[in-house]
Amino acid sequence: MELSPRPAPGGPGTVTPKRRRSPLAYGVLALVVLGLGVVVYQALTSASLYFYNADEAVDQRVDLGERRFRLQGTVQADSIEPTGDGVAFTVAFNGVDVDVQHAGDPPELFKPGVPVVLEGHWDPTQDTFDSDRILVKHSEQYQADNGDRLKEAEDGYSGATTSSTTP
């Protein structure tokens, strides 16, 4: 009678055949990883628009080329002129003026003396910044100029009564 231990099936010392993965599975995995990489790259590059003050943008005009960025400046007095498809005006920052051609209607708060941020790019054929979006910086000026109207509105709201029917 033999009393030596035998290895258990599937345990150490037994040889199990290796599973082979299909080359198709590796191809699909590679495509998924590549697709995710493209999506992440697009999200990161399109989400970052560089921001330049007018003087910085003029200094870096050659480097910026036709790349899209944000330009900040103050709308100059007597520079706003309607055009066929929008408005032309001049912004300034630190004593440097930039002529702007904006496509579309400007926002309601757009007027001379107001700081704006413009999205667009340098026009390669003209000495202008082509804008397609204007962001207007607003302040608490309304509250200061119209404090009495705000007080009336608050008083009217707090003084409102609710009607109830009592039996």
> Which tens digits make up the pLDDT trace of 2-54?
777 776 666 555 666 677 778 888 889 999 999 999 888 887 766 667 789 99
For residue 66, being part of any structural domain is answered with: yes
pTM score over 0.85 = no
For residue 151, being part of any structural domain is answered with: no
Q: Could you give the CA distance from residue 60 to residue 55 in angstroms, rounded to a whole number?
A: 9
DSSP string for residues in 59-103: HTHHHHTT--EEEEEEEPTT--EE-SSEEEEEEEETTEEEEEEEE
What band does 166 get if pLDDT is binned at 50, 70 and 90? very low
Residue 63 structural domain: 51-141
For residue 92, being part of any structural domain is answered with: yes
CATH number at residue 98: 2.40.50.140
The dihedral region occupied by 104, where left means phi > 0, alpha psi between -120 and 50, and beta the remainder, is left
Question: By C-alpha distance, which of 53, 136, 139, 54 is closest to 90?
Answer: 54
For residue 146, being part of any structural domain is answered with: no
For residue 159, being part of any structural domain is answered with: no
For residue 164, being part of any structural domain is answered with: no
Domain count, the chain: 1
Cβ 134 vs Cβ 109: under 8 Å:
no
H-run or E-run covering 154: helix 147-158
